[in-house]
Structure 1
């Protein structure tokens, strides 16, 4: 089966459940010395309207055999890689093109299975990637990936405790997964979540990014949110040049986006502040963190010198979760966005290891009893 055949968006069978396996195949991850095996998988997830969609991921099997009681499945949510093209982690790792593998290798060295979702719109999805839409589109494929691993007979993996870890936009996705797990995937034995460089309130962060050196990220966020919230057509906010640029941007990597669109976001829009619109303000409000109390321990960390996601954005997330009653701790590093991601590795792994050892937060519910009813909070 060729790459294009494997990632061809499948027609899902009637009655398909979130987490059902569509197809799997073994691959080689040439950069990873700690992986005994790797599998690309296509599985069922759901979109913002709770409709079934195809999602893809890569599952890495560790060479190291964990000590009894220390094994786990790590749901690893990497930072934003791009809106399209060869941005899917399951493709990057299989071709040896992934540039950030230190955290993955460290988790494999502990004997953890590492599962990395591509994210809605990448891999088996129909793009563009739903960048910034952690709540509408990002977190469900993460939780459904844990379900898929439980059900994937080809992988021959025992059911194990689950922890989630992400950085930047991946951190927002991991944090939201912790909020959604009790009602969306109660059968998943989630023990803890680590999230670095996260922003609680996009309504504050997005305009700042749109005027700075990372303006291409704001443009990508506009496209990603419009993809997740289909009632928000880009034609309402983009000018003619912006519509042409958006058609190009949906196929680009993050590096290409930053190089191609350095102009302030307002350059591509009908109004100076495209976020100052009733519907867009509502979407940004929906995408804030800490809508509800997270049942699992949450570990937040941030770089004091971070110029991409200012540290004050992370502190707001800390306060918001504490106000909800979440068990959350905070670690601040004397570094920028990139250096903090690496300096925090050992601390993150140590905290998640403690969460695994502390046992289940609550008894996992059987999948059959999962009513998938969203709480009113």
Structure 2
């Protein structure tokens, strides 16, 4: 499969959502009930420049002939910065959480899982973690690509979006960009749990704690997304060496090996307040979350130690103020408990958006 993930050369006449390669494969736990394809397709980065990306499309073997199957674009949470962390590879290896996917397949939906910018595709550098614009493009373009597969016979059904943590951020960005970027998609609603709405605020909160490596990962991801800016000037010499190592690692290894505060690797203790970083973080915060005109379902664990519960309430208040049709559910659990317990509830809520 190495050749499949090799970066293709894009031409000026390529279009977002165009399928470049497909490969039918198998997910061992789902092999009896589904068909699975890995895709290389065209999308756009944070500056809307064309990029190749990868993803997975899973369909029930028995389709409903009376109507097109709804398509769920499911955006996973942060897996790491290195290419081997791609969900498309984790799914085949049996290392990806399947509960959300199975809950959707049981409804008769097709499921599309984007890898994210620079995950999967080799030779393009590290994943652009926290780059919301790129994540939104990649999710929408996978919906386009899935509906262009011959197996869909050119018939387009309704689309819903779902993500948790950084995946929830990607789903909300996709919903925000949908009207201008992919208006032809029949997007019916979005579900997002434990959403990172303000990366700078989150990094400041988790710095010096057990999740501080996520701050380093965010700095590396956004510096890759905005590689035309000198964002890594904040690193010390040790920081540059640490960054080079970290760019290839999974989330688990990052959290284990990089527990120092972000300032340990930087010239200043608060690199998020560097002027160039303030510009980038402002771009990544300037969304239309409060102006969404599709239904939104938010959920969060009251004991979430990674993404504070209060940030979710602030987002909910902004959405309500913007007159978004909002549903809310909270769980008496931490970050991981909530992710595990919420799958059926979320799919049931998304189903109301489709009916």
User: Smaller-chain TM-score range?
Assistant: over 0.9
Deviation at 1:154, TM superposition (A): 5.2
Q: Which has the higher helix share?
A: 2
Paired residues, what number?
Answer: 353
Residue 200 of structure 1: how far off its partner (Å): 2.1
- Measured in 2, the distance between the counterparts of 1:96 and 1:9 equals 24
Residues 210-263 of structure 1: CA distance to partner in whole angstroms, max 9, x if unpaired? 221111111000000111122433431111111001101110000011111011
Aligned to 2:220: 223
User: 1:282-361 maps to which residues of 2 (within 5 A)?
Assistant: 282-288=279-285, 289-291=287-289, 293-357=291-355
1:139 to 136, 141, 144: 136
Residue correspondence of structure 1 range 48-63 to structure 2 within 5 A: 48-63=46-61
Change beyond 3 A, Cα 1:339–1:157: farther
Larger deviation, residues 315-324 vs 23-32: 315-324
Cα distance, 1:349–1:243 mapped onto 2, change above 3 Å: same
Deviation string 1:115-147 (CA, Å, 9 cap, x unpaired) is 000000111262311111112x11101001111
Q: Please state how far the C-alpha of 1:64 moved relative to its aligned partner.
A: 4.8
For residue 191 of structure 2, the aligned residue among 170, 182, 194 is 194
Give CA deviations for 1:47-91 in whole Å, capped at 9, x if unaligned: 122111101101011135459558310000000000014111111
For residues 2-21 of structure 1, what are the structure 2 equivalents within 5 Å? Answer: 3-21=1-19
Aligned residue number for residue 40 of structure 2: 42
Alignment of 1:152-167 (within 5 A): 152-153=149-150, 156=153, 158-167=155-164
Deviation beyond 6 Å, 4+ runs, structure 1: none
Map of 1:82 onto structure 2: 80
TM-score normalized by the length of structure 1: 0.89
- Give the one of 262, 266, 270 matched to 1:265: 262
2:316 and 2:284 mapped to 1: Cα distance? 16
| 1:274 maps onto 2:271 in alignment | yes
Please name the residue that 2:208 is paired with: 211
What residue is the counterpart of 1:373 in the other structure? none
* Structure 2: runs of 5+ lacking an equivalent: none
Once the 2 structures are TM-superposed, how far is the Cα of residue 207 of structure 1 from its aligned partner? 1.1
2:90 is aligned to 92
TM-score (norm 2): 0.95
Gaps of 5+ in 1: 358-377
Cα 1:104–1:8, aligned 2, differ >3 Å: closer, same or farther? same
Partner secondary structure for residue 350 of structure 1: helix
- Deviations 1:278-327 (CA, angstroms, capped at 9, x unpaired): 22122222222545511210100000000011101111111222222222
1:110 aligns with 2:110: no
Confirm or deny: 8 A CA contact 1:59 1:113 kept in the other structure. yes
SS at match of 1:86: helix
Measured on the aligned residues, the alpha-carbon RMSD in Å equals: 1.7
- 216-225 vs 120-129, which moves further: 120-129
SS at match of 1:31: helix
Give the conservation status (yes or no) of the 8 Å contact 1:32–1:101. no
Between the aligned partners of 1:290 and 1:199, the Cα distance in structure 2 is 14
* Counterparts of 1:211 and 1:151, CA distance in 2: 46
Within 5 Å, give how 1:166-185 maps onto structure 2. 166-185=163-182
For residues 73 and 103 of structure 1, the distance between their equivalents in structure 2, rounded to whole angstroms, comes to: 13
The CA distance in 2 between the partners of 1:355 and 1:115, in whole Å, is 18
Residues 132-169 of structure 1: CA distance to partner in whole angstroms, max 9, x if unpaired? 1112x111010011111122225547311100000000
CA contact (8 A) 1:290 1:321 kept: no
